[in-house]
Amino acid sequence: MKFLHTSDWHLGRHFHNVSLLDDQRQVLNQLIDYITHHPVDVLLIAGDIYDRSVPPTAAIELLDEVLTRICQQLQTPVIMIPGNHDGAKRLGFAAKHMQSSGLHIISDFTQMLQPVVLSSEQAGEVAFYGMPYSDPEQVRDAFKNKVSTHDQAHQFLCQQIVDTFNPSQRHVLLSHCFVDGASTSDSERPLSIGGADCVNHQHFLPFDYVALGHLHQPQYKGQDYIRYSGSLMKYSFSEQYHKKGMTLVELNQQGFVSAQSIPLTAPHDMRIVEGELEALLAQGQQDPHADDYLLVRLMDKHAILDPMEKLRKVYPNVLHLEKPGMLMDSQQPMGRARLARGEMDMFRDFFLEAKQEPLTELQTQAISQVIQSLKNQESN
């Protein structure tokens, strides 16, 4: 059996006030094209389908379009669970009625214990269990027990599922959690404070494959078959070196066979570039990927008038600007001396930067009078 493991679509996400929906649409078209040319037995989505619990209408419409093409046109089943960004009740609305079309949304603990069973010649029957995102409070309320941590909650839920195993089947789990020791990025919303959200990978060992969601970097923990697929595309500048995509998994009657990364490419990459302004402007003229989403770190040690406007003439999608060069200079003796200069000297520098010409003697006298007048007002 072959299936695709994905997670963390985050449909409807905005990044620095820029909608990523069009980028998401193009990436999902690549996913659909892959299934069209390389049919699989099922597509898994391990949580965070949307970016927030009440998603924008355009995000809902995009998901509807994608699922219609996959489930109805390509006749490929889809199994999904809610993540911490999703509203489980909203995502699971009318889930039972959608099963006949091949869409399986496992959004509560009752459905968790009722696996989706699919068959193939290579693996026989495979039972897919979905564990909706679960914090300790939800588990305590549902099962009337005394779990107090995410680890205890997942240990309990895994045992509940294992107790239902049919030994003649292979067993796959979808879960949305933070496995202890995994690598994080800036775009993941913490599940709790102080490491209390960590889950031990040992709880997942009885399964033949564990399709994890929540962390955006593809990785495996403990065993090769306990994996994060990572997000479909980059959602923060800390992910600039991540390889994004989905995971193609193969099972046979003995269990896990292989996991292969299938790359997906967003139309705009997320990159960090740094250097002095003039060098960056020259670089931008030759950059074939100048439309990428950029964080720019200016290394100039002097003030620059409206650097963002200048940068956007060559890099139209600069989303964030940092000036570490100014900070570095202010930590040096010469930098501190510059900061201690009088108002007149600083205004001369500003005027020269803005107008590309020095103050005239008449202008200098006028500014001096204004500065002195302001000082007199402050002293009074």
Phi-psi label, residue 214: left if phi above 0, alpha if psi -120 to 50, beta otherwise: left
Is the per-residue pLDDT at 224 higher than 50? Answer: yes
DSSP letter for each residue of 320-354: EEE-HHHHHHHTSHHHHHHHTS-HHHHHHHHHHHH
What does the domain layout of the chain look like in residue ranges? 2-263, 270-379
List pLDDT tens digits, range 155-186.
999 999 999 999 999 999 999 999 987 777 76
**CA 320/CA 297 separation, integer angstroms:** 9
Amino acid at 285: Q
Topology of the domain comprising 2-263: Purple Acid Phosphatase; chain A, domain 2 (3.60.21)
CB contact at 8 A, 112 and 132? yes
What average pLDDT score do residues 104-123 get? 94
Return the pLDDT at 128: 99
Identify the sign of the CA torsion 87, 246, 188, 141.
positive
**DSSP secondary structure code for residue 116 in this structure:** E
Handedness of CA 316, 317, 322, 324 (dihedral sign): negative
Q: Which of 32-36, 40-44, 194-198, 276-280 has the lowest mean pLDDT?
A: 194-198
pLDDT at 285 over 50: yes
Give the containing element (helix H, strand E) for 309. Answer: helix 307-312
| Segment 66-103, tens digit of pLDDT | 999 999 999 999 999 999 888 878 887 777 778 888 99
User: Looking at residue 194, what is its pLDDT?
Assistant: 39
Task: Tell me the one-letter amino acid at 256.
Answer: F
Q: Is the pLDDT of residue 314 over 50?
A: yes
- Confidence (pLDDT) at 51: 94
Cα four-point dihedral sign 315, 316, 318, 321: positive
Better-scored residue on pLDDT, 327 or 166: 166
DSSP structural state of residue 203: G
User: Which tens digits make up the pLDDT trace of 237-270?
Assistant: 999 999 999 999 999 999 999 999 999 999 999 9
Q: Which helix (H) or strand (E) holds 296?
A: strand 293-298
Q: Which helix (H) or strand (E) holds 27?
A: helix 21-37
Torsion angle defined by CA atoms of residues 143, 148, 150 and 152, in that order, rounded to the nearest 10 degrees: -70
Report pLDDT for 187. Answer: 61
Report how far residue 90's alpha carbon sits from residue 68's, in angstroms, rounded to the nearest whole number: 18
Q: How many CB atoms lie under 10 A from the CB of residue 236?
A: 16
Least confident stretch, 87-91, 278-282, 302-306:
87-91
Does residue 276 surpass a pLDDT of 60?
yes
What local confidence, expressed as pLDDT, does residue 344 receive? 79
Mean pLDDT calculated for residue range 112-137: 95
